[in-house]
Amino acid sequence: MSENVDVQNGEPNVDKYGRAESGLDPACSLGNSFDFERCLTSGPLAADLRLAVGLDKVLRRLGQELRRNGTKSGCRGTQADRIGTFISHDWGSRGSLKFMSLLLIFNSRAAAVIAVSVSVTVALLEAYDVMPRKSAERLVGGRRYMTQSGEASLCGLVAYLFILCFWQRILSLCGRSASVFLDKLCIDQENEEQKERAILGLAGFLDISDRLLILWSPNYFDRLWCTYELASWLRLSGMKDTTVMPIHIAPALFAITFSLWSSIIIFIYAPTIRGYFLWSDVRRSGSDLLTFDVVSGVAGLLCAIVGGVILPTHLSRHLANSLRLLPQQLERFSIRETNCFCCSHHHVHPETKKHLPCDRQLIFKMLLQWQQDFTGSAESVATLEAFDFRIRQKLEPWVLRHIGGAHVPFRMLLATSCVPLMCSTIDYIPAMIELGGVPAFRLGLDAILQSFVLGPGVATAIMMISAAGFDCKNHVGCDLFFTLLKSTASTLVLAIIWASINIPRAILGHVGWQLAVGAVLVVPTIAIFRCCCRSAVGPSE
């Protein structure tokens, strides 16, 4: 992790709202006497504080605004009556992981739809000779067919990357970019008085927000301000319209997705590359062709194994190890023990040596005002204990149900690991139109099984195996050993899934038996994912 960490307290040397960046506590500009006057508010925000920002501004420059050490910038928020999504996160976690999580949540579905649409369009243009096409021989279901050479897959990849990165920018040009609250951009960092008023009125931002998005990291429930945001939302709406996203899921899914795409592109374009380097097969010996085929095959295999298995296994292992600690973290939750910047430094700023007012006292005082929302009575002495009880007994089951497992919702897999296989099998469309009948049915069956059984099966198998059994990451050698061990297990399971899809249909020549094999594979896949979605990561229903 690139962030500096305070060793004694185990937390980044910055508070929720960037005091270490500014070098000045907001209250200091109003004098030390302000300590006794500061208080959080939960009422409506003043009109000049009701600021929201387009998600395109949060995502630009690879999410620089999500990094704690990013360049300091003035307020870019604009006045708004409502905020679409309140982004709750801790500044100690990596900005790159939060950036990829936002891409996955907000952009991946549009990227998948447009990538598949572009691939279908290209395939149809090739089928009706509007675009020039090159045929390639493929083994499908034990039979060889002349399909297209891969332009649909390549165009799909380009469209997916472009939309994934720039979808919010495209929407902003149409005035439709998602409206979000990000503290760094929606709280004026230049005007100290405005900054102080906005921080004290933080609950007001949640009051005008339609959804809460929690970018979860292992330190989230240990941070006082993150807990206050959660308490405010819990008071306003329970956990309705809440999305919890562990920030390590996105890089694991994207690693699988782009490794699949790289392997497919290498496999499809290997003959073209061979023809470019070995420009005349007639003038080359058979050993040259064999060597090139072996090299291209090894390159595709390395892309699939390293990028598609080893890297996501490593990321999934670390996510699983963090999630193993989550039940104990919630069972022992106490808001009195959460960390805040001021208390960690004895209320003296480590750089400016100026006095820091106590944020903990402010938040505890606000919880006392919310006592009836947590206790249902007017006994103020029990408020903090009642809030802890609410987290342990009420919120814990909800959190564990949504982020406590190794499963990913099928809809999220449709937007990631399924897309490369969908786009690659769309190349079958010209052959299906030309052949028709039973051959077209076989090609369509192969496309369905590859896209909706093998695609989601890859990500699910890797994440479940990564989370299974004993694990260790306290030593570099031990960490590497378990990554390689679980990667090997994942590779074997994926080989079995691939074999179960392809070998029976290659052996069974009758189309009825092939259809039966396909049904046997699809039905359990649907059943497994229906069960997994009950404990998957995603928004509450």
* pLDDT tens-place values along the chain, 541 residues long: 333 333 333 333 344 554 433 333 333 333 333 343 567 887 788 888 999 999 999 998 888 889 877 655 555 788 999 999 999 999 888 999 999 999 999 999 999 999 999 999 999 998 888 887 777 767 666 677 777 667 888 899 999 999 999 999 999 999 888 999 999 899 887 788 888 888 888 999 999 999 999 999 888 988 999 989 988 888 887 778 888 888 988 998 998 999 888 888 877 776 666 555 555 444 455 565 566 667 766 776 777 787 788 888 988 888 888 888 788 888 888 888 888 888 888 888 888 888 888 888 888 888 777 766 665 554 444 567 778 887 887 777 877 776 655 678 888 899 999 999 999 899 888 888 888 888 888 888 888 888 988 888 888 889 889 888 778 777 777 888 889 999 999 999 988 888 888 887 777 777 777 788 778 787 777 776 666 554 443 443 3
Query: How does 151-184 read in b/e, with b if 16+ C-beta sit within 10 Å?
Result: bbbbbbbebbeebbebbbbebbeeeebbbbbbbb
Strand 83-88 vs strand 179-181: parallel, antiparallel, or unpaired? parallel
Q: What local confidence, expressed as pLDDT, does residue 485 receive?
A: 92
Quick one: pLDDT at residue 380?
44
Side chain identity at residue 127, one-letter code: A
Here the contacts of 504-512 (C-beta below 8 Å, separation 24 or greater) are 505/141, 505/142, 505/442, 505/445, 505/446, 506/141, 506/142, 507/142, 509/142, 511/438, 511/441, 511/442
pTM of the model: 0.84
Nearest Cα to 413, choosing from 464, 456, 449? Answer: 456
At 293 the pLDDT is 62
- Angle (deg, nearest 10), helices 95-106 and 108-127: 50
Looking at residue 349, its pLDDT comes to 80
Q: Is 133 helix (H, G, I), strand (E, B) or coil?
A: coil
Report how far residue 89's alpha carbon sits from residue 86's, in angstroms, rounded to the nearest whole number: 10
How far are the Cα atoms of 109, 242, 372, 500 from residue 141, in angstroms, in the given order?
30, 44, 65, 12
Residue 143 tokens, joined: 């039979």
pLDDT reported for residue 472 = 77
> Rounded distance, CA 214 to CA 216, Å?
6
Model pLDDT, residue 530? 62
* pLDDT value of position 14: 41
Give the tokens for residue 30: 């109003």
Contact 439, 141 (CB under 8 A): no
As a whole number of angstroms, the distance between CA 323 and CA 536 comes to 13
